[in-house]
């Protein structure tokens, strides 16, 4: 697509967008009594207009049926975790038996680390990215200490090269080879939250397996954003949240993936009754018998209202299709990049630290502000832009294909150039 930095071009492109109707299925926040230019879907996705209907159905069934809703609600509560499986499987490239919506992201990470980080005297290291999201860092540190090890020696943190912001794939692969015989687990984000870099999951997983290590991923910024093939790429496990690109609400239910090759595993796990064999769950007997697949990692019963909001968004993803969303995402983000480079071609104030290759990023550009970053961010807010500030000097901009438009991107450019 050949871009032009004009309102006419943006409006024409929006009219021709086959996904244009989906914007009307979301509530757009207001700022200064006008619809905001909302560009933080990578922090909190917008509310689908059907969310209230989905939650209301559960409220109505609770009111009418009480405890009988577990079996007789429109969507019986006993089986609620099953209703999200097909959509989640399509989004992450998995089999339905390999995905489940449960808990919160870091809870799921800890639960799966219990199973997949089992250090020995010879293999005890975790390879991760330096500057991973803080919750992941805390999980790595405490899991390592839980096993009586020292994070200073057991955690290998990979940094970009001098004066670079993104990790080169070759450097990740070299590190895996270097530490291979001592590495128990390679655990990276699918998309790096700060830079927006989309890691090569297939190559990283293959390299880890070649060294006999487990490969896991935190997909918080990847799920619903970039194409994933977790089953085909033979990823061992993954976790994600659903309040960002999956639009399931603040503090929404999270998700997990475990490859089917681990379905009948004897790996250690922390168990609860909702992961127990469904046909015996209510017999209240001793002796944990896990359900097959990732369902066996469930601990507690399903939070119905959170899950209802989740289903409202997943219904939209099923209709739109991740392939179509990815195509628009690439175009939207490329248009944003084009406009920013037109405004500041010499990078006097703004340096885009997200990889330029569309295959190495999702719908996010991270703007490294060389000067006046916080002041510019404040001005954006005053002029109707909802963006995201990350210390010490980065503004993250995420044009989401489900509800953002080319006109949003154009108007953002018109506003930011006033303050550069």
pLDDT tens per residue across span 100-141 = 999 999 999 999 999 999 999 999 999 999 989 999 999 999
Helix (H, G, I), strand (E, B) or coil at 161: coil
Q: What is the pLDDT of residue 1?
A: 82
Q: Are the CB atoms for 37 and 411 separated by under 8 Å?
A: yes
Rounded percentage of the chain residues whose pLDDT exceeds 90:
96
Q: What is the pTM of this model?
A: 0.96
Q: How far is CA 381 from the centre of its chain?
A: 25
Three-class secondary structure assignment of 257-318: EECHHHCCCCCCCCCCHHHECHHHHHHCCCCCCECCHHHHHCCCCCCHHHHHHHHHHHHHHH
Residues 326 and 209 placed together within one structural domain of the fold = no
Residues 279 and 334 placed together within one structural domain of the fold = no
Q: What is the pLDDT of residue 304?
A: 98
Residues 180 and 141 placed together within one structural domain of the fold = yes
pLDDT digits (tens, 9 = 90+) for 246-285: 999 999 999 999 999 998 778 999 999 999 999 999 899 9
**What domain range is 130 assigned to?**
55-318
Strand partners, 191: 198
Helix (H, G, I), strand (E, B) or coil at 237: strand
Is 407 part of a structural domain of the chain? yes
Determine the Cα–Cα distance for residues 27 and 48; give it in Å rounded to an integer: 6
Which helix (H) or strand (E) segment is 356 a member of?
none
- Position of tokens 């809703």? 69
| Mean pLDDT on 278-300 | 93
Determine the Cα–Cα distance for residues 47 and 309; give it in Å rounded to an integer: 9
Sheet strands (E) in 34-138 = 34-35, 37-38, 99-101, 125-129
Q: How far is CA 18 from the centre of its chain?
A: 24
CATH of the domain at 361: 3.90.1150.10
Q: Give the end of a domain, one of 297, 318, 339.
A: 318
Residues 264 and 292 placed together within one structural domain of the fold = yes
Determine the Cα–Cα distance for residues 191 and 258; give it in Å rounded to an integer: 19
Is 77 part of a structural domain of the chain? yes
Residues 241 and 184 placed together within one structural domain of the fold = yes
Q: What is the pLDDT of residue 263?
A: 83
Determine the Cα–Cα distance for residues 24 and 35; give it in Å rounded to an integer: 12
Determine the Cα–Cα distance for residues 153 and 88; give it in Å rounded to an integer: 37
Residues 150 and 292 placed together within one structural domain of the fold = yes
Q: What is the pLDDT of residue 331?
A: 98
- Position of tokens 């200073």? 152
Q: Give the end of a domain, one of 258, 287, 318.
A: 318
Q: Are the CB atoms for 259 and 237 separated by under 8 Å?
A: yes
Provide the domain count of the chain.
Answer: 2
- Provide the mean pLDDT of the chain: 96
pLDDT digits (tens, 9 = 90+) for 332-386: 999 999 999 999 999 999 999 999 999 999 999 999 999 999 999 999 999 999 9
Q: What is the DSSP letter of 341?
A: H
CA distances from 224 to 45, 46, 92 (A): 11, 13, 8
- Position of tokens 């015989």? 181
């Amino acid at each position: 697509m050949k871009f032009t930095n004009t309102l006419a071009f943006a409006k024409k492109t929006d009219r021709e967008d086959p996904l244009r109707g989906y914007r009307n299925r979301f509530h757009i926040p207001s700022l200064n009594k006008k619809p905001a230019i909302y560009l933080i879907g990578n922090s909190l996705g917008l509310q689908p207009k059907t969310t209230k209907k989905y939650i209301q159905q559960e409220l109505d069934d609770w009111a009418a049926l009480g405890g009988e809703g577990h079996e007789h609600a429109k969507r019986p509560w006993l089986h609620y975790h099953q209703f999200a499986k097909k959509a989640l499987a399509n989004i992450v490239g998995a089999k339905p038996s390999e995905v489940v919506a449960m808990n919160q992201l870091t809870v799921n990470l800890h639960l799966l680390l219990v199973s997949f980080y089992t250090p020995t005297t010879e293999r005890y290291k975790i390879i991760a990215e330096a500057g991973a999201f803080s919750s992941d860092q805390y999980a790595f540190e405490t899991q390592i200490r839980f096993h009586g090890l020292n994070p200073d020696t057991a955690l290998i943190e990979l940094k970009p090269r001098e004066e670079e912001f993104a990790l080169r794939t070759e450097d990740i692969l070299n590190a895996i080879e270097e530490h291979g015989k001592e590495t128990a687990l390679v655990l990276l984000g699918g998309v790096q939250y700060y830079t927006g870099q989309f890691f090569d999951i297939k190559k990283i997983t293959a390299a880890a397996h070649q060294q006999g290590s487990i490969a896991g991923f935190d997909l918080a910024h990847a799920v619903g954003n970039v194409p994933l093939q977790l089953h085909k790429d033979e990823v061992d496990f993954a976790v994600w949240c659903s309040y960002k690109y999956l639009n399931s609400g603040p503090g929404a239910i999270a998700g997990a993936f475990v490859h089917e090759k681990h379905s009948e595993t004897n790996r250690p796990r922390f168990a609860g009754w909702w992961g127990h064999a469904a046909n015996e769950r209510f017999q209240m007997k001793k002796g944990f018998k896990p359900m097959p697949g990732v369902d066996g990692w469930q601990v507690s019963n399903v939070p119905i209202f959170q899950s209802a909001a989740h289903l409202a968004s997943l219904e939209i993803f099923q209709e739109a299709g991740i392939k179509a969303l990815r195509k628009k995402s690439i175009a939207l983000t490329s248009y944003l990049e084009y406009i920013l480079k037109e405004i500041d071609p010499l990078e006097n104030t703004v340096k885009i630290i997200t990889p330029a290759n569309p295959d190495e990023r999702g719908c996010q550009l991270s703007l490294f502000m060389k000067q006046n970053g916080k002041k510019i961010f404040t001005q954006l807010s005053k002029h109707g832009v909802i963006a995201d500030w990350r210390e010490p000097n980065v503004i993250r901009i995420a044009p989401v294909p489900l509800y953002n438009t080319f006109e949003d991107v154009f108007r953002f450019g018109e506003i930011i150039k006033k303050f550069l």
